[in-house]
Amino acid sequence: MSVWSDPEQALIDGAQALATILKTVPYKKWNHTKDSSRYFFKLAAQKGLTGIEVPVASGGSGASFKCKALVAEILAGADFGFAMSLVNTHNVANNIARWDDSKTSDTTISSLVPELLSGQKIACTALTEPHAGSDFSSITTLAQPHSQGWRIDGEKSWIINASVADLILTYVQTQPEAGAAGIAAFLIDANRPGFIRNEQFGSEAASSLGTSSFKLEGYIARPEELIHPAGFAFKRALHSINGARIYVAAMCCGMVAECLRIATAYGASRQAFGSSLQEHQGWRWRIADAAIDLEAAQQMVRAASQALDDGQPVVDLASKAKVFATRMAEKHTAAMLHAMGANGLRDEYPFVRHMTAAQIASFTDGSTEMLLERICKSQQQSH
Ligand SMILES: Cc1cc2nc3c(=O)[nH]c(=O)nc-3n(C[C@H](O)[C@H](O)[C@H](O)COP(=O)(O)OP(=O)(O)OC[C@H]3O[C@@H](n4cnc5c(N)ncnc54)[C@H](O)[C@@H]3O)c2cc1C
């Protein structure tokens, strides 16, 4: 019997169909092909992938976290950048739909959910600033009370989707010097005065991430756009980051699985010294090593996903899964390229893109070093 409900199976099938199409897009053409992100968002929306965990009452599928992690894994095998981009929009839709505050009845905010689910609007989440990455509590973008709500000034950097996003869940400081306790989160409208979008930047190999930066200069947020108030927002960010660590780990598995699949097939056809590559023992062992580590990472992802769905403690499991899976991807995307010989460098294969993505995965949602600190803390607390 399948572990998936019918709606979940439909999402997984939809992700597989979308991944097949994504693999046909030359990555260097992502930003030259007209509106690639918006085009693929609409395609993803038709398959329900913008609303995987969003409650059914809000128009989503109400699926499990482990279904979302598998969808992320499948899509990242084709294109890590688009998988991250999609999941970031999805998370904002889910966040708004589940916003259990008295202001949920605010129709302007709740009407955004269908626009995100249909792919009409794209969203993202902004914590990082030019001078504050790992040290999140030191952000300086400032929100001050204003006659119409709040006035916000500051700059955010390295934000997925910021080159195209319409809505940005933005973390700001409300009480300088207060650190974590003063951090709040606002829903920012990128089409309003005071929002200044910068050009997309980052590696071309990950252009489908749509990474960019933006400034807020005298931006006015309405009171109901304060989604998570000070005293709550920091904890909220740390809570949702646990899920992010698990699906990023899943994406690393998806990328290695795809590299392994391509290299294995190549080894059966490429000839060297009178036989196929796969008939050389030294060549085969590289394949076996990748398969072993991939299996281990997938098991860690499944265990962490299940714990999250069951409401069990997940901080330690999520951190361990992400450290293991990102290191595994750093090692084996490169090893699989090597197994292909020079042809592994060709743009028609995903090795170079996936190698870059493995590095990106090791920064986002808690860098490897931050997670090692976290894991060590759990270890010390348990003894
Ligand atoms: C492609 C991409 C997309 C991103 N998307 C988003 C997004 O959508 N939203 C968002 O808010 N952010 C995003 N980020 C930012 C990401 O969260 C940060 O890159 C990450 O938090 C690390 O911060 P930093 O790059 O400023 O590195 P720094 O904090 O400057 O750290 C530099 C290096 O030092 C290490 N280091 C830092 N402090 C310590 C310490 N105490 N002990 C040991 N080592 C330490 C770090 O691990 C890192 O290796 C993205 C980043 C990338 C690359």
Against a cut of 0.85, is the pTM above it?
yes
> What pLDDT is recorded for position 37?
86
CA of 238 to the centre of ligand 1 (A): 15
Nearest to 248 by CA among 380, 93, 128, 69: 69
Contact status, residue 110 vs residue 37, Cβ threshold 8 Å: no
CB-ligand 1 contact for 241 (6 Å cutoff) = no
Phi, psi dihedral angles at 59 (to 5 degrees) = 100, 0
Average pLDDT over residues 272-281: 98
> What pLDDT is recorded for position 93?
96
Contact status, residue 166 vs residue 123, Cβ threshold 8 Å: yes
pLDDT at 142 over 90: yes
Task: Specify the CATH number of the domain 6-117.
Answer: 1.10.540.10
CB-ligand 1 contact for 362 (6 Å cutoff) = no
Contact status, residue 169 vs residue 126, Cβ threshold 8 Å: yes
Q: Which atom of ligand 1 is nearest to the CA of 135?
A: 29
Nearest to 60 by CA among 46, 69, 70, 50: 50
> What pLDDT is recorded for position 102?
45
Of 229 and 37, more confident: 229
Nearest to 210 by CA among 10, 2, 38: 38
Contact status, residue 151 vs residue 218, Cβ threshold 8 Å: yes
Q: Which residues pair with 12 in a beta bridge?
A: none
What rounded mean pLDDT belongs to the chain? 94
Band of residue 173 on the pLDDT scale cut at 50, 70, 90 = very high
CATH for the 235-381 domain, from 1.10.8.60, 1.25.40.10, 1.20.140.10, 1.25.60.10:
1.20.140.10
Band of residue 382 on the pLDDT scale cut at 50, 70, 90 = confident
In the chain, where do the E strands start and end? 123-126, 142-146, 149-159, 167-173, 183-189, 195-197, 212-221, 226-228, 271-272, 275-276
Task: Specify the CATH number of the domain 123-231.
Answer: 2.40.110.10
Average pLDDT over residues 18-46: 85
The full set of domain ranges for the chain reads 6-117, 123-231, 235-381
CB-ligand 1 contact for 290 (6 Å cutoff) = no
Q: Do domains 6-117 and 235-381 have the same CATH topology?
A: no
